Structure 1
Amino acid sequence: MKNKNITLILLSILAFTIIQQSYAQSYPEFKSMRFEEDYSVLANDTIKKDWYREAKYIPLTSSGKTFLSFGGEVRYQYFYIKNEKWGDEPKDADGYILNRLLLHSDFHAGRHFRAFVQFQSSNASGRLDPSPVDSNPLEIHQAFVDLNVFSEKDRQLIFRTGRQEFSYGSQRLVALRDGPNNRQSFDAVKAIAGFKNYHADLFYSHYVVAEDGIFDDYSNKEKQFWGSYLVINKIPLIKNIDFYYLGYKRAKAHFDDANGKELRHSLGTRIWGKYDNWRYDAEAVYQFGTVDVKDIKAWTVTLNTGYRITSVVLHPEIGLKVETISGDKTKNDNNLETFNPLFPRGAYFGLASVIGPSNLVDLHPSLNFELTKNLNWVLDYDMFWRYSSQDGIYGPNTIMVYPGDSSTDKQIGEQFESEITFQPNKYLYFRVEATWFKAGDFLKAAGTGKDMLFTGATMQIKF
């Protein structure tokens, strides 16, 4: 506990120093994927030089085209869960603490070569039986090199190889997994191409399995992932559209009505954009392939939209998300209709993260209020049903939560969530939240079926 207090004090000092020395100075905005930040713009800047500026841009040649950049983030979270897994998990009287440290270095040698390395340390204190998603003490999270054939305003061609993060579209199928304590990565080769309003990625990878040790994560050849993703921007009327194909192969898959080797192909499209105060994001995916001897015939359709009322106080945004995600229709037949979300963001339906996007019908209205410029309050309400009464419910990683044969009831439950986020500047982020999950008929039949309460607080600093 003493070490944690010292760490928090040091972080507070660091945060205060960065804030004080960064007022009236202009740096590139932080990105979710830190390797997307470009600090070469500091080569000819007029920003007053200080320790922070020196860490973000360290020229190694007189021209300044070869340089180093350093950065990272620290996140502390406290969570308390009452009736975890609706009462079927051991009781935890005082909650648990998660902390995550990410540190990276970015080396550029002229315009054509780049190397990026990022370390991750994720730890859980007080967590009963923490999983690798919660605890991964110290690992090389990313380590890749780029060969930049050309990168100009309207065209780009980059070849990337090594351990790296993936994030595509709305992160429904391929995500950073930033919500949980341990972000995910892949050992991959990738080609990145862009021309005017077109951007395309082509990749092949092995999933990196997290182990609860130091420098022991490994590339899992039994989980192969490949695909292509095309984004077209500035289209009349629809604004933006994505087309993608994703292939996934794993040696051991476990569904309610199928077990064994899985080979799954996903074809999808997404339309997204903004019109004035409207935002919209619609996506459809069809999956085919095999699990053992069964043919996959799975799909999902989702719509996520919202409207911001700027003419009234607090600028409320009214949001609505609806989605239908297929589940297996008939036991012991030759088909499997259970949708596999592949590598989604862990906190798929809020940070409580108790249900994953398989065999599900979801109706999710929300309200978002701008209390001040840097303070937001979100209220949302989620209703969950099973798509098929013949299939069970799954976690975000398709691990079975409850099999489907315990009841024919489809109602899973209702989730009420409230969160307040405060971001005084780009370096600091705070969040407090509370989620109450009211167990429905299926949960009461499949398990203990108690209502679940999830509360949490987050503090994060980026630098």
Structure 2
Amino acid sequence: MGARAARRGVLLLSLVAADAALAQFRPLRFDDDFRAQRQSCNEDARKDAHEDGHEAGDGIACWKDRPVSDDLRLSLGGDLRWRYEHAGNPRYGLDRQDKRGVLMQRASVFADLRLDEHWRGFAQLASSITKGRAGGPSPVDEDRLDPTNLFVEWRSAMGQGGVGLRAGVQELQFGSGRAIDAREGPNVRRSFDAVRAYATSGAWRVDAFTAAPRQNRPGSFDDARSTTQRLRGLYATRTGSVTSWDVYALHLDDAAARYVQGVAHERRWSLGTRVFGGRQAGDWHWDWNWEGAVQGGRFGDADIRAWSLATDTGYTFDGVAGQPRVGLLLAVASGDKDPHDDRLGTLNPFYPRGNYFGDEATLGPRNFLNIHPALSFKVAPQVQLNASLDFFWRHSTRDGVYAPNGLLFRAAGDSRARYVATIASLGATWTMAPGWSSTAVVAYAQPGAFLRETGAGEVLSFLSLSAQYRF
């Protein structure tokens, strides 16, 4: 009996690996290719029937695109993530020191139900818990049980083109996540109450949406739609063989926005574009991802005039062992030149990715100038190493430095120093088996003159270890 159980265990593990090999897991799980996963199940069943004379049908992928009736199909899946963090002198000495570090766990399960080719319902429940943070869990640390996605969708037949409409609780992510992102890094992901319409035609996809962010609360089924913030937007993407383009127009209404100038009603629009792609010839490969935006509107009685530019350009040596990639990221976001005048110059990135500049997540994308050289290479087919240096300055010396959540990290005070910090980091990603991944990151952050002059002068060290399984 023990040998049979062992054989069944090995068979199950092999099925899981085969299933996940075609899983095509996406950052937003409702974008997964369930039909490709189902095809993996069918292939495994045929192979098992040929070898053993019976059909297995018990692999993970066999719960994808599973027929319930003639017109009804069901897909099930989920995520598990475990993460350990330890920060020495968190937030450069401003936060309480954790004794033994922080343990975090995030789990989610989802069900995707499709009626014929037009109707769909998607439900995803997530649970996030945290232990060990000296100051207690933050709003992005803990949410016992709440839906991250709970929507209905209708779409026309999506051949060469079509239209669709999705309404309900849903995660939103566009482009590189510099403006709207599901916030994968923190323990609690970001969701919206939203209505989203989309259309595709050839190389084009256009999305129009109106949304309000969900307010994360630590209990169960207690998250609620924000009553102070509303986001509307139009986002278009044209996919090309070498170069692709995004263009977008966004409008944020925030009844209680907070800057160095104070607290007021903010009505801000943002016009942006992104150009991205890659080109390969022989043993070399260039890639690029450049994005810029201009912003205007009103903050109380003040005019808004803000802008940003972010570039990521890389070169991969495909003919060299390990396929090293050398990259250079240059980014700048405007700050406010005078907190006492009738103009606000601080960029508002809206809802960007949580760990915008790195896993230590101390600095946010407002009022900054950043130079970020990076190197990555594979030491084994499943193991990649990443090394980088981040150099941060303030764009405006009259404005402060902001945290990733948009709150003011350090006010300018009397300091006119521009340099904020230098952060060195080294990371490793290991794809242990299909469906499994793990990461390790160590970082060292040396505060610059501005942080030291405003009372955040301790050297920050950071370690994180994580493992994730998707099924």
Same fold (TM over 0.5): yes
- Whether contact under 8 Å (2:15, 2:44) holds in the other structure is no
> 1:180 aligns to what?
186
The Cα shift of 1:15 comes to 11
Aligned equivalent of 1:31, options 26, 30, 41 = 26
| Secondary structure in 1 matching 2:452 | helix
Offset of residue 334 of structure 1? 0.6
Residue equivalent to 1:145: 152
* Corresponding position of 2:313: 305
Determine the C-alpha separation between the residues in 2 that align with 1:17 and 1:211. 42
The answer to whether the 8 A contact 1:15-1:461 is kept is: no
Contact 1:168 1:175 survives alignment (8 Å): yes
- Match of residue 86 from structure 1: 92
SS of match in other structure, 2:190:
coil
Look up the match of 1:95.
101
Amino acid at match of 2:259: F
Q: Deviations over 1:227-270 (max 9, x none)?
A: 000001127xx611111001111111110123211111000001
Match of 1:132 among 136, 139, 143: 139
**1:56 Cα deviation from its structure 2 partner:** 2.2
Task: Spell out, residue by residue over 1:331-370, the C-alpha distance to the aligned partner (whole angstroms, 9 max, x if none).
Answer: 3011000001110000001110100000000000000011
Distance change >3 Å, CA 210–CA 18, structure 1 → 2: farther
Residue 429 (str. 1) matches residue 448 (str. 2): no
Question: Measured at CA, do residues 75 and 16 of structure 1 come closer, stay the same or move farther in structure 2, by a change above 3 Å?
Answer: farther
Secondary structure of the residue aligned to 1:279 is strand
Q: Of 169, 189, 197, which aligns to 1:191? A: 197
Is 1:122 matched with 2:128? yes
The verdict on how the C-alpha distance between 1:59 and 1:242 changes in structure 2, with shifts beyond 3 A counting, is same
In the alignment, is the contact (CA less than 8 A) between 2:447 and 2:456 conserved in 1?
no
Q: CA deviation at 1:50?
A: 1.5
1:219 is the counterpart of 2:225: yes
Residue of structure 1 in register with 2:353 after alignment: 345
Q: For residues 45-64 of structure 1, what are the structure 2 equivalents within 5 Å?
A: 45-48=42-45, 49-61=57-69, 63=70
C-alpha distance in 2, partners of 1:268/1:101? 34
SS of equivalent residue, structure 1 residue 54 = helix
Aligned partners of 2:394 and 2:420 also within 8 Å: yes
2:3 corresponds to: none
Residue 20 of structure 1: how far off its partner (Å):
2.2
Alignment equivalent of 1:409, drawn from 417, 442, 449:
417
Matching residue within 249, 252, 260 for 1:248 = 252
CA RMSD, 1 decimal:
1.7
Amino acid at match of 1:382: D
8 Å contact kept, 1:31–1:37: yes
User: In structure 2, what is the Cα distance between the partners aligned to 1:213 and 1:246?
Assistant: 32
Which residue of structure 2 aligns with residue 389 of structure 1? 397
**In structure 2, how many angstroms separate the alpha carbons of the residues matched to 1:330 and 1:24?**
59
1:51, distance to aligned residue in structure 2 (A): 4.2
Shift, 1:302, TM fit: 1.2
Deviation string for 1:33-64 (max 9, x for gaps)?
Answer: 11011323537933322142332232111x4x
Structure 2 vs 1, CA of residues 330 and 17 (structure 1 numbering), >3 Å: closer, same or farther?
Answer: farther
Mapped to 1, the partners of 2:28 and 2:81 lie a distance apart of: 16
Secondary structure of 2:60's aligned partner: helix
Q: Work out the percentage of aligned pairs sharing the same amino acid.
A: 30
Task: Tell me the distance in 2 between the aligned counterparts of 1:265 and 1:97.
Answer: 39
Which of the residues 285, 290, 293 maps onto 2:298? 290
Q: List alignment gaps of at least 5 residues for structure 2.
A: 1-7, 46-56
The residue matched to 1:390 in structure 2 has which SS?
A: coil
Which secondary structure does the structure 1 equivalent of 2:44 belong to? coil
The secondary structure found in structure 2 opposite 1:443 is: helix
For structure 1, the 5+ residue unaligned runs are 1-13
Matches within 5 A, 1:363-374: 363-374=371-382
Task: Provide the C-alpha distance between the structure 2 equivalents of 1:261 and 1:371, rounded to a whole number of angstroms.
Answer: 51
- Residue in structure 2 matching 1:108, options 114, 117, 120: 114
- Name the CA shift for 1:197/1:448 in 2 (closer, same or farther; >3 Å): closer
Q: Name the SS of the counterpart of 1:404 in structure 2.
A: coil
* Contact 2:25/2:33 (<8 A) preserved: no
Q: Provide the rounded CA distance (Å) in 1 between the counterparts of 2:201 and 2:226.
A: 34
Q: 1:20 is matched by which residue type in structure 2?
A: S
- SS of the aligned residue for 1:53 comes to helix
Aligned equivalents of 2:312, 2:59: Cα separation in 1: 43
What amino acid is aligned across from residue 62 of structure 2 in structure 1? Answer: E
Structure 2 CA distance, aligned partners of 1:251 and 1:408?
31
Instruction: Give the drift of 1:416.
Output: 0.1
SS at match of 2:217: coil
Whole-angstrom CA distance in 1 between matches of 2:273 and 2:58: 46
Shift of 1:221: 2.5
CA contact (8 A) 1:327 1:387 kept: yes
Change (3 A) 1:454 1:23: closer
Aligned match of 2:4:
none
Structure 1 counterpart of 2:127, one-letter code: S
Structure 1: which 4+ aligned runs deviate by more than 4 Å? 14-18, 23-26
SS at match of 1:92: coil
Contact 1:369–1:378 (8 Å) recurs in 2: yes
State how far apart, in whole Å, the 1-side matches of 2:13 and 2:383 are.
Answer: 18
What's the CA shift for 1:136? Answer: 0.7
Q: Which amino acid aligns with 1:249?
A: D
Q: Secondary structure at the match of 2:43?
A: coil
Alignment check: 8 A CA contact 1:258 1:294 kept: no
Tell me how far apart the structure 2 counterparts of residues 329 and 81 of structure 1 sit (CA, whole Å): 33
Q: Do the aligned partners of residues 54 and 401 (structure 1) sit closer, same or farther apart at CA in structure 2, a change above 3 Å counting?
A: same
- Structure 1 residue identity aligned to 2:13: I
Alignment of 1:72-83 (within 5 A): 72-83=78-89
* Counterpart residue type for residue 150 of structure 1: A
